[in-house]
Amino acid sequence: MKEKSGFSGQIGFVLAAAGSAVGVGNLWRFPYLAAKDGGGLFLIVYLCLVLTFGFTLLVSDIAIGRKTKKSCINAYALLKPSWKGLGVLTFFVPVVIMTYYSVIGGWITKYLTVYMTGKAEAVANDGYFDHFISDPQSSCYFALFFLILTAVVVYNGVEKGIEKFSKFVMPVLLVLIIAIAIYSLFLEHTDASGTARTGLQGFVVYLKPDFTGMTFEKFVNVLLDAMSQLFFSLSVSMGIMITYGSYVKDEVDLNKAVNQIEIFDTVVAFIAGAMIIPAVYCFSGTEGMNGGPGLMFISLPKVFNEMGPVGSIIGLFFFLTAAFAALTSCVSVLEAVTANCMELFDVSRRQATVILTLIYCVATAVISLGYSTFRMEIPLPNGSEGQLLDLMDYISNSVMMPFISLLSCIFIGWVLSPKTVTDEMEKNGEKFGRKGIYNVMIRFIAPVIMLVLFLQSVGLLEKLE
């Protein structure tokens, strides 16, 4: 049996877990949803949910990891052998995510290199993004490059690889987004029609709760958006936080650690909104805020170009931030897969990383070619059509994650007992502050929410209406 590696202490763990949680979801998805769902209204709903629902899922994953000292497959098996299947199912989430995450990382790296060479104008052109992703060679090379970077960090181990890297990257990321957000607030622009807008006005749009046209149905949609965002953003229910939790020393106060991870993730998302919404508002009004890759790879480059020469530098900083955020997240996904494989096949970290990297080189290449050689329009249950990447994303995030969360709430809340988790939180005599909320959430509220999210994403909710 190999010696169990781990984080050196609380800070290393918190920064690595925050590194996983803070990703492209914080940088583009959160600001886009906030703009779409009534600004401050979304912020309030999101905050309430982080403190209750998000917290419940995060605590469960981390506590199970530390209690069992195992990755998800063995962790669930150890808690109750007949529930091993849940561990296996959970394991497949990072397995699927890993097939496409490097492709997105590759897109970011490509944009970073373009800004490094000062070609801000070129990327602002219509069609640049589509042209790039449909070029089989370029998109594939960048994706593979990103995958190799990820693999190097994982290969170096928990303390010397993941922890060391996160301790360097996360503070830099925080400084960068704060700097860009401050710059964003002071922007001023007058467009061709003579309308003048400022960054501060955009900031007000972001903060002010907007209830215009609000109906009960719309509010439910805001709730569902906030919930799925939260879930994705905290990297819960995919075995990642179980694996990271298994590396935490017994002396660490998990209450403090969980609070810090939640705060880090939410603060970064909030500042990302303060950086993007004012800038997009200033240059293109609220219409510029479309979702998906469009915001990050099409609208923002236009905004940076409008800013003139400074725009190249801001663009460079932005894509550097995004690259860091994506890399620490990708590392956590590969780590979750690697850690499970090390336990399953009793191989060393190095062997596992090398073999997995080879497999994922093939998978990543295939997914990146999904926009050229293997292009197809795959109908998804929610009514939209997508390419291979969208399909993988849909399977992992919209179908598997809510379903796994639902099962794990039932498992902890009803099959075992919430005490399994709450005892771990109070292991060293700490006080588990939100224990009451935890008990109610895990048994009653979270399972219902997860069921609704799951039904919605597989398209059953509409059919029932």
Q: Which residue is nearest to ligand PHE (CB)?
A: 23
Contact, 91 vs 239, CB < 8 A? yes
Contact between 266 and ligand PHE (CB under 6 A)? no
What are the structure tokens assigned to 459, written together?
């398209």
x/- letters, 314..353, toward ligand PHE (CB under 6 A): ---------------x--xx--------------------
104 vs 124, beta carbon nearer ligand PHE:
104
Contact between 97 and ligand PHE (CB under 6 A)? yes
DSSP one-letter string for 361-401: HHHHHHHHGGGTTT---EEPTTS-EE-HHHHHHIIIIIIIH
Q: Is 314 helix (H, G, I), strand (E, B) or coil?
A: helix
- Residues whose CB is less than 8 angstroms from the CB of residue 390 and which lie 6 or more positions away in sequence, other chains included: 378, 380, 384
Of the candidate residues 6, 12, 23, 413, the single one contacting ligand PHE (CB under 6 A): 23
For residue 261, the minimal CB distance to ligand PHE (Å) is 11
- Residues whose CB is less than 8 angstroms from the CB of residue 359 and which lie 6 or more positions away in sequence, other chains included: none
Residue 117 C-beta-side C-alpha neighbours within 13 Å: 8
Could you tell me which residues are beta bridge partners of residue 401?
none
Q: Is 37 helix (H, G, I), strand (E, B) or coil?
A: coil
329 vs 368, beta carbon nearer ligand PHE:
329
Task: Give the binding range for ligand PHE (CB under 6 A) out of 17-25, 182-190, 285-293, 369-377.
Answer: 17-25
Of the candidate residues 18, 19, 20, 441, the single one contacting ligand PHE (CB under 6 A): 20
153 vs 205, beta carbon nearer ligand PHE:
153
Instruction: Give the phi and the psi of residue 384 in degrees, each rounded to 5.
Output: -90, 175
For residue 333, the minimal CB distance to ligand PHE (Å) is 5
27 vs 124, beta carbon nearer ligand PHE:
27
Contact between 235 and ligand PHE (CB under 6 A)? yes
For residue 240, the minimal CB distance to ligand PHE (Å) is 6
Contact, 429 vs 399, CB < 8 A? no
For residue 1, the minimal CB distance to ligand PHE (Å) is 29
Residue of 149, 148, 98, 173 lying closest to 324 (CA atoms): 173
29 vs 70, beta carbon nearer ligand PHE:
29
For residue 319, the minimal CB distance to ligand PHE (Å) is 15
Task: Give the binding range for ligand PHE (CB under 6 A) out of 18-26, 36-44, 277-285, 292-300.
Answer: 18-26
Contact, 321 vs 177, CB < 8 A? yes
Contact, 181 vs 274, CB < 8 A? yes
55 vs 283, beta carbon nearer ligand PHE:
55
For residue 251, the minimal CB distance to ligand PHE (Å) is 27
Contact, 70 vs 258, CB < 8 A? no
What are the structure tokens assigned to 308, written together?
């003139």
Binding to ligand PHE, residues 139-198 (CB under 6 A): none
Contact between 26 and ligand PHE (CB under 6 A)? yes
Q: How many residues bind ligand PHE (CB under 6 A)?
A: 14
DSSP state of 288: G
Task: Give the binding range for ligand PHE (CB under 6 A) out of 36-44, 229-237, 359-367, 370-378.
Answer: 229-237
Angle, helix 446-457 to helix 401-410, in steps of 10 degrees: 150
Amino acid at site 98: M
Residue of 255, 327, 256, 338 lying closest to 72 (CA atoms): 338
x/- letters, 49..88, toward ligand PHE (CB under 6 A): ----------------------------------------
Task: Give the binding range for ligand PHE (CB under 6 A) out of 159-167, 232-240, 424-432, 455-463.
Answer: 232-240
CA 9 to chain centre: 24
Q: Which residues in this chain contact ligand PHE in the complex, by CB under 6 A?
A: 20-21, 23-26, 97, 232-233, 235, 238, 329, 332-333
